[in-house]
Homo-oligomer: A and B are copies of this chain.
Amino acid sequence: MQRFVNNPDEVVEDTVKGFIKAHSDHVRLAENPRVVIAKHGPRAGKVGVVTGGGSGHEPAFMGYVGKNMLDAVAVGELFSSPTAKSFHHAIVEANGGRGVVVLYGNYAGDNMNVKMAIKLAAKDGIEVATVVANDDVCSAPLTEREKRRGVAGEIFMWKIGGAKAATGASLEEVRAVAQRAIDQCRSIGVGLGPCTLPAVGHPNFQIEAGTMEVGIGHHGEPGVRVEPLKSARDVAKDMCDIVLEDHNLPAGSEVAVLVSGLGATPVNELYILNDTIETEITARGLVIYKTYVGNYFTSLDMVGATLTVMALDAELKALLDIEVQCTTLL
């Protein structure tokens, strides 16, 4: 295992420590060391915006804490939901008196723990609303969208929700627009190589050399098919076909595009994919409003990439344009 780790059981501990040290200008730990909060603190009169999720997806989730973005993030162990207690503490930290919205991904552990955290927050008198991200197209059919997992589309959901909250909107207004943002997102992942949990020491799934897994989840959940590795052009075309068929947007629609590496895919290959992605999207008469390329939502050292397409309306565009403070270019 050619990795920079110390005690494999302390990967999250060490990652969080190094993260806080790097970004102490705008984030800090809460009393609960599994809760990262924005230094600007809960602004009285502002709806608090919270997320949380397993570690190993850096810069997600804690990298998106900051002004006009997330107010607090609950940090889980590698690929595991944060505890109910951590979600609860994140809600308390983000509370500025007008309620808190928790914008998180559709995984069993997160669903359960957020539910428990909401009960705990109710005892504190904090009103909580939720939006559950389910942008991963290949994880269930469109007719069962509520079963789909949340992946990199969550970043758009956070950005839209965070920006709306910053404008002074109500809890219901923030919830509604974050819900609309994720409703307008479709994502797909393609895996070329597995990832390894350091404490396990070997990959938790296999991708044979010369093959790729289309529709893979970002913890290695099985995709829709394994096939021989194609050219970047053909891979990108497949990704667009799957995402855009599901999305079914009328020509002329404006979209935001996010191409994220999964951890061990170099930056130049993401641009190679984006070359075809842009061609495919515009060939369908869609208009790209903004593109983001980089390691935005990773999966330890997985080799692969994800594509997220968010359809925009006037409000989503305006909110997307609001400048944020976080650890990636958004």
Contacts from A to B (Cβ < 8 Å)? 2-7, 11, 14-19, 21-23, 25, 55-56, 58-59, 192-193, 207, 209, 212, 229, 231-233, 235-236, 259, 263-278, 290-295, 298, 300-301, 303, 305, 327-329
User: In the complex the two chains form, what is the Cα distance from A319 to B251 in whole Å?
Assistant: 45
Q: Which of B6, B23, B207 contacts A232 (CB 8 A)?
A: B6
Q: Which of B55, B59, B305, B329 contacts A4 (CB 8 A)?
A: B305
* B residues near A272, Cβ cutoff 8 Å: 4-6, 11, 14-15, 18
B2-A229 in contact (CB<8A): yes
| Number of copies of chain A assembled together | 2
A268-B192 in contact (CB<8A): no
Q: Which of B266, B275, B292 contacts A298 (CB 8 A)?
A: B266
A271-B15 in contact (CB<8A): yes
**Chain A to chain B contacts (Cβ below 8 Å), 21 pairs:** A4-B232, A4-B265, A7-B231, A11-B272, A15-B268, A15-B271, A15-B272, A18-B271, A18-B274, A18-B277, A22-B274, A23-B291, A58-B267, A58-B268, A59-B267, A263-B264, A263-B267, A264-B265, A264-B266, A265-B301, A268-B298
Given the known interface contacts A2-B229, A271-B15, A329-B328, the answer about A58 and B266 at a Cβ–Cβ threshold of 8 Å is yes
Q: Which of B6, B273, B291 contacts A231 (CB 8 A)?
A: B6
User: In the complex the two chains form, what is the Cα distance from A263 to B263 in whole Å?
Assistant: 9
A2-B192 in contact (CB<8A): yes
Which residue of chain B is the closest to A289 with respect to CB atoms? B25
Q: Which of A6, A268, A293, A300 has the most CB of B within 10 A?
A: A268
B275-A21 in contact (CB<8A): yes
Task: Please name 13 further chain A to chain B contacts, defined as beta carbons within 8 Å, in addition to the given A15-B272, A18-B293, A23-B291, sorted by A numbering.
Answer: A4-B192, A4-B305, A6-B233, A6-B272, A14-B271, A18-B273, A18-B275, A18-B278, A19-B271, A21-B291, A22-B291, A22-B292, A263-B264
